[in-house]
Structure 1
Amino acid sequence: MNTQQYQNESFLDGNQAAFLEQIYQQYLHDPSSVDAQWQTYFEAIAHPPSAVAAPCIDPTMERRSLQLRVSRLINAYRYLGHLEADTNPLGHYAYKVSVPQLMLEHHELENIDPTLTFDPGSFNIQTAPTLQNIVHALRETYVRTTGFEYMHILDVQEKRWLQRRIETDLARDKLTHPERRKILEQLTAAEGFELYLHRRYVGQKRFGLEGGESLIPLLQTLIHEGGKQGLQEIAIGMAHRGRLNVLTNVLCKPAGELFSEFEGKIDETYTGDVKYHKGFSCDVSTEGGPVHLVLAFNPSHLEIVSPVMEGSVRARQDRRHDKDGDQVLGVSIHGDAAFAGQGVVMETFNMAQTRGYRTRGTIHIVINNQIGFTTSTVSDSRSTYYPTDVAKMINAPIFHVNGDDPEAVVYATKLALEYRQQFQKDVVIDLVCYRRLGHNEADEPNMTQPVMYSIIRG
């Protein structure tokens, strides 16, 4: 190599790998964001010109081209892996997108020597970094029952923190037997509660949680992990779906009191409201000490409780002089149709980081049962791929998780809580599930959603 050639390619030295990877990722996301010389270089190695005679091919340049194509594949999984993740317990009944960027053919890597090894960069891999092993590790990380959306985040520190946690943390596979047993007990309690009400109070409206029972271990994980991290109060805002289950199995409202409401034995003179709008508060013991829980009362107007809950959280933080939000956490539980359809969601997000109203990060949980009343066709209910896309306006990370994999739900919850405590910003858990019964218990959904309910009841 002559001096001029060395000067032209000295940036390829191993010491510059991190810098080169950062520039290349910028180029992949937006080619116009990098200098024109970088654009020319990356374009040349991504699509090398055909050689007339085989001996003219520079083996060094060919190897570099392969390496950059592998880097581009790794980056594609980080950006788009969530689109292929197995997050829907109903399969791809509603919609399925093709993601060619995750295919080897898209990167011209389908016929390479299987013994070749590559530099995976910052991607963590425990085995020899052959292409086959890299792809296997990528799919184990990004295409299981949790889809991670975080590459849209502008803050590099936040993005790198999430990337390291997602790609190196194997905690999702390391739940202990007692932890799994606890999850089973919580799911059994949630399902048993709904079955009992369904059989005893036939036809009465309760807007049950059937199909989304993983919400209960999700909330229990937030409470007990939050207690370990020093939280002393958790304020929850939610609509009617699953409220009775949360009241009984999370906030410990006496079952007898709830049954009396079903049977009309409670004097409603002072409330005049239905049982699935009522709130409650209690203290729960955790390993880190007692945590005070409060579930806000809620009207039938979807999402109107969200800013009310945020105001309650801010007031509690101010009262405790909790400037960093280490003691008080807000949890906002939404439905998928309301989250995408109600403007108050965007308005509340808009105040999330303002000085006068911020609450140092809210954990948003979307009970995504893939239907709004009787509308289940995505193109009839919203213009975005996910119901959670509105959260990207504040660069919130979004974890799409299969509600039929409660262990994955618990892992996503722990990660969401750690992110909130670390960066004091909002985070979204998209709990993808289904609605086993109708909009309410007097509704027969086979009339309006025959295909969906043939899968649910099949």
Structure 2
Amino acid sequence: MSQDDNPKSMQALWRSSPLAGANAAYLEALYERYLRDPGLVAAHWRDYFDSLPRVNGTETDVPHSDIRREFRNLARRRPPGAAERPAEAISLDHELKQVRVLQLINAYRFRGHQLAELDPLGLTKNPEIPELTLAHHGLSEADLNLRFQTGSLTGPGEATLAEILDTLERTYCHHIGVEYMHITNTEEKRWIQQRLESTRATPDFDADARRRLLYKLSAAEGLEHYLHAKYVGQKRFSLEGGESLIPLLDHLVQRAGEHGAKEIVLGMAHRGRLNVLVNVLSKTPRELFQEFEGRNHSRERTGDVKYHQGFSSDVQTAGGPVHLALAFNPSHLEIVNPVVEGSVRARQERRNDRHGQQVLPVLIHGDAAFAGQGVVMETLNMSQTRGFSTKGTVHIVINNQIGFTTSTLKDARSTLYCTDVAKMVNAPILHVNGDDPEMVLFATRIALDYRMTFKKDVVIDLVCYRRHG
């Protein structure tokens, strides 16, 4: 045996010196780089690692850092006292996909509203959202029949990926799109998740509720058709295209009465005001027609145009009578907002209503005005202050997708939605297709219940269209 082949010779020790125990960390890092890409290491090290025995004689080794990280994750997830799972039961690939499924669920909660079918006319094309695709999360159609834990998704604790996807798309991408993940309070987010995901955002109203809905829709449409035919050319700021506002307000009043509300103060601009006066506040059509014909001789007449007029009445609900007051409004579209809030605050103090259970403010906006007029932001900014809070306002945007001087959204605003300003006060925003009246009532119920539970502002974005002027 030559001196070089002697294990204890200087040459043999020199050749094996890089493998000394003191270099363990360096060798481990070098081996990790080799496993991820053999081209990242020097040729002599690549040849050395290639010569190492295979795992189980055939399999290629995997990076040890991935294995260590996965065991740390398993240790965190394992409940105290749980028995150790045998090594053969652990599937690293499935566990990694499990994490990606939970990320996919969260992505739908954040951005599912962008794929919702909100435009009744189908003119707005939804963008492609990579975060809502399987490929973005390292998943594929081959995984659709695999079962995964559903995490915080309301429903069964385990389901196939196909079932999870169906739940997410029906909940967040149908005729309602909900923005709520910007809210900083976890309890509020969990509350909204439960209300949406437990029902798959699918309305389930009984026959009586559907009949009342049809009655209110028919009344709203019938009045508009009559005014259009009878008083041709007269300004009336038609609600046609957004008739769902009437059953929305009717349901809001009835639901508020069940919550114990005694008064509701409304503020709105011109669009739909005549219809609201007749079909929500019960102003008689006779009075309205006399105003069109110039034959209204009431002593209380202010001389203002009919679509600026206020009104008040009492409406019967399951919880007792509710007094409705519609504030007078000048031509400035949103200036009535702080007036309504001040009126509500005074009524709450008169009733000693410290929690806002008895008096409710409701503000109805246009889409261009809500995004474009500064008084909206100023009023929102005071909504939670001690001196001006009214314990939450229900905002309804009649979003007919056209501003007074704009025909394209590119000229109307710089935000994705006209309601984005409401995010400044952590208000949830429910975008709903106005041509799905049952979904409109579903959104209304969630919005009012949220306001009565958390005493905060909430926004319903009623996406509709404008048929006449």
Answer whether TM exceeds 0.5 for this pair.
yes
When residues 431 and 168 of structure 1 are mapped into structure 2, their CA distance, relative to the original with a 3 A threshold, is same
The residue aligned with 1:389 is: 420
The one-letter amino acid paired with 1:434 is Y
- The equivalent position to 2:355 in structure 1, one of 304, 309, 324, is 324
Name 1:167's counterpart in structure 2.
197
How far does residue 172 in structure 1 lie from its aligned partner after superposition? 3.6
Distance across 2 between alignment mates of 1:239 and 1:406: 22
- Does residue 356 (structure 1) correspond to residue 391 (structure 2)? The answer is no
Code of the aligned partner of 1:428: V
- The answer to whether the 8 Å contact 1:125/1:137 transfers is no
- AA of the residue aligned to 2:447: A
- What residue identity is the alignment partner of 2:358? Q
State the partner residue of 1:409.
440
1:288 corresponds to which residue?
319
Matched to 2:162, the amino acid is Q
1:210 to 222, 225, 240: 240
Q: Could you tell me which residue of structure 1 aligns to residue 47 of structure 2?
A: none
The letter of the residue matching 1:141 is T
- Provide Cα deviations, 1:99-154, integer angstroms capped at 9, x if missing partner: 11111111121143443200010102459611111101111111110001000000
Distance 2:173 2:70 in 1: 41
The change in CA–CA distance for 1:99 and 1:9 in structure 2 (over 3 A counts) is closer
2:154–2:193 Cα contact (<8 Å) kept: no
* Contact 1:207-1:242 within 8 A present in 2 as well: yes
Equivalent position to 1:261, from 276, 291, 294: 291
SS of match in other structure, 1:15: coil
1:28-177 alignment, distance < 5 Å: 60-91=91-122, 93-126=123-156, 129-169=159-199, 172-177=202-207
Match of 1:281, SS state, is: strand
- Given that 1:78 and 1:151 are in contact with CA atoms closer than 8 Å, whether structure 2 keeps it comes out as yes
Amino acid in structure 1 at the alignment position of 2:332: H
2:259 equivalent among 209, 213, 229: 229
Which runs of no fewer than 5 residues in structure 1 stay unpaired? Answer: 17-57, 441-458
Q: Percent identity?
A: 59
Question: Would the alpha carbon gap of residues 197 and 376 (structure 1) be closer, same or farther in structure 2, given more than 3 Å must change?
Answer: same
Task: Evaluate the alpha carbon distance shift between residue 74 and residue 237 of structure 1 in structure 2; reply closer, same or farther with a 3 A threshold.
Answer: same
Q: Deviations over 1:338-377 (max 9, x none)?
A: 0000000000000000000000000000000000124131
CA distance in structure 2 between the partners assigned to 1:6 and 1:290 by the alignment: 61
1:201 equivalent in alignment to 2:231: yes
The one-letter code matched in structure 1 to 2:438 is E
Structure 1 pair 224–398 and aligned structure 2 pair: CA distance change class (3 A):
same
1:181 to 211, 230, 235: 211
Is the 2:443–2:460 contact (alpha carbons within 8 Å) kept by the matching residues of 1? yes
> How far does residue 160 in structure 1 lie from its aligned partner after superposition?
1.1
CA distance in 1, matches of 2:326, 2:78: 55
Partner of 1:380: 411
> Contact 1:150/1:398 (CA < 8 Å) preserved in 2?
yes
Which residue pairs with 2:77 in the alignment? Answer: 13
Tell me the TM-score normalised to structure 2 length. Answer: 0.81
How far off is 1:268 after superposition?
7.9
Choose the corresponding residue for 1:247, options 269, 274, 277.
277
8 A Cα contact 2:400 2:464, kept in partner = yes
Gaps of 5+ in 2: 1-63, 81-88
Give the Å deviation of 1:321. Answer: 0.3
> What SS does the aligned partner of 1:332 have?
strand
For 2:309 and 2:156, the matched residues in 1 are separated by 51
Does structure 2 retain, via aligned residues, the 8 Å contact 1:238–1:305? yes
Partner SS state of residue 329, structure 1: strand
User: Whose Rg is larger?
Assistant: 2
| Number of equivalenced pairs | 395
**Runs of 4+ more than 2 Å apart:** 4-16, 58-61, 111-115, 124-128, 169-173, 267-270
Choose which of 371, 384, 398 in structure 2 pairs with 1:367. 398
User: How far did 1:272 drift?
Assistant: 1.9
- Partner SS for 2:159: coil
Q: C-alpha distance in 1, partners of 2:416/2:150?
A: 30
Aligned in 2, Cα 1:59/1:358: closer, same or farther, shift over 3 Å?
A: same
User: Which amino acid is 2:452 matched to?
Assistant: Q
8 A contact 1:401–1:412 mirrored in 2: yes
Change (3 A) 1:245 1:63: same
Distance 1:196 1:7, change over 3 A: closer
Any conservation in 2 of the 1:125–1:134 contact (CA below 8 Å)? no
Secondary structure (helix, strand or coil) at the match of 2:148 reads: coil
Give the 3-state SS of the residue equivalent to 2:149 in structure 1. Answer: coil
Alignment of 1:291-302 (within 5 A): 291-302=322-333
C-alpha distance in 2, partners of 1:204/1:5? 72
SS in 1 for 2:92: helix
Change (3 A) 1:95 1:172: closer
- How far, CA to CA, are the matches of 1:187 and 1:248 in structure 2? 13
The 3-state SS of whatever aligns with 2:216 is: helix
Structure 1: distance between partners of 2:374 and 2:144? 52
| Shift in CA distance, 238/421, structure 1 to aligned 2, threshold 3 Å | same
Shift of 1:171: 7.5
Provide the C-alpha distance between the structure 2 equivalents of 1:5 and 1:429, rounded to a whole number of angstroms: 44
Measure, in 2, the Cα distance between the counterparts of 1:125 and 1:217.
30
